[in-house]
Amino acid sequence: MDEKASYKDAGVDIDQANLFITKILPLIKQTSRKEVMNSIGGFGGLFHLDLKKIKDPVLVASTDGVGTKIKIAQMMDKHDTVGIDLVAMSVNDIVVQGAEPLFFLDYIAIGRMDVERNVKLIEGVVAGCQEAGCSLIGGETAEMPGIYGENEYDLAGFCVGVVENGRIIDGSDISVGDTVIGIASNGIHSNGYSLVRNVLFEKAGLTVQDQLDGLEQSLGEELLRPTRIYVKPVLNLLKNFSIRGIVHITGGGFFDNIPRIVPRQCCTVIKRDSWPVPEIFRRIQEIGHVDLDEMFRVFNMGIGMMLVVSEKEAADILERLNILGEKAYMIGSIEKAASDQPSVSFI
């Protein structure tokens, strides 16, 4: 008689998946806003949009992942921070348009159900949602043996927010003479890790346990610093100030992200020495002999979010950011672009 086949024998354990859901339900409830209408477990998450606070709502959506930073988490066997990165990458992308994040969904793809590890992942997502003020209203954990190795996983996240139609920030109000304010990052954040791993691990032969001069913790711990979430300080500023443009410095660094919101007739002039560059970037550049322009094209170099504001409000905005506990600096200005001038230049 032929042996009976089962889903578990094929690599998918439904009982462990159900145990995982049971363990994360109390965590997810910690992110609930009053607009959430159902608990996790339905076919879709329900969110009642409160139109009393907003007259002409525009929904803003974003999706992103964590990239190969996940490899560092796996090398460290530390999985409680990449969930914060996952939330940060999407909520930071929508707040640049003036939108308040409302709800978030996650997607975890795994080779094998590891309940303890996956709970750690969700703990990070929950922490990120709490920091951003949005609700985790659903998600999916997909066991895919044969696609992912037994201890491998990948993450994706999806965020929806809302902004008043007349208050969308798109950079169209940016003009010559405006000031650029940079808000400090928490290190590398979640971009450029393919170059990081190539330089530090493949070429230099370092390990996550190594301690480099100038770093306060091990290399692995430094590389796992979670991406800063800028939602609360930006929304606070928008209550009292007119922010003309906001740039999230992610993949593409300064050179590719700034032109996304600055008008073509303008040039953004950045003063390279106007803020302290974290030591980790200096070490990557030095060890890998990476060209400085390449560093600014790949990494945030210590500035995770940029604000373009009127010159007359710049000092007050900088003071507010400092009161909110943010490290912020006046790092540049908007100038009229010459015919042969690039859209971003450094002095």
Instruction: Specify the pLDDT at position 2.
Output: 66
Separation in Å, CA 224 to CA 41, 72, 92, 124, 142? 31, 7, 18, 12, 24
pLDDT of residue 138: 94
Bridging pattern class, strands 266-270 and 328-336: antiparallel
Q: What CA–CA distance (Å, rounded) separates 11 from 142? A: 12
pLDDT of residue 159: 98
Q: 3-state class of 22 per DSSP?
A: helix
pLDDT tens string, the chain, 347 residues long: the values are 567 888 787 788 889 989 999 999 999 999 999 999 987 777 899 999 988 889 999 999 999 999 999 999 999 999 999 999 999 999 999 999 999 999 999 999 999 999 999 999 999 999 999 999 999 999 999 999 999 998 999 999 999 999 999 999 999 999 999 999 999 999 999 999 999 999 999 999 999 999 998 899 999 999 999 999 999 999 999 999 999 999 999 999 999 999 999 998 999 999 999 999 999 999 999 999 999 999 999 999 999 999 999 999 999 999 999 999 999 999 999 999 887 778 999 99
Map 273-326 to HEC letters.
Answer: HHCCCCHHHHHHHHHHCCCHHHHHHHCCCCEEEEEEECHHHHHHHHHHHHHCCC
Whole-number Å distance between alpha carbons of 222 and 206: 13
pLDDT of residue 42: 78
pTM listed for this prediction: 0.95
The answer to whether 308 touches 178, Cβ cutoff 8 Å, is: yes
Single-letter code of the amino acid located at 237: L
| Residue 114, CB-side half-sphere exposure with 13 Å CA sphere | 19
pLDDT of residue 255: 95
Let me know if 107 is exposed, middle or buried by CB neighbors in 10 A (0-12, 13-18, 19+).
middle
Domains and CATH numbers, the chain: 14-167 (3.30.1330.10), 179-346 (3.90.650.10)
Asked if 36 and 46 touch (Cβ cutoff 8 Å), the reply is: yes
pLDDT of 51 reads 86
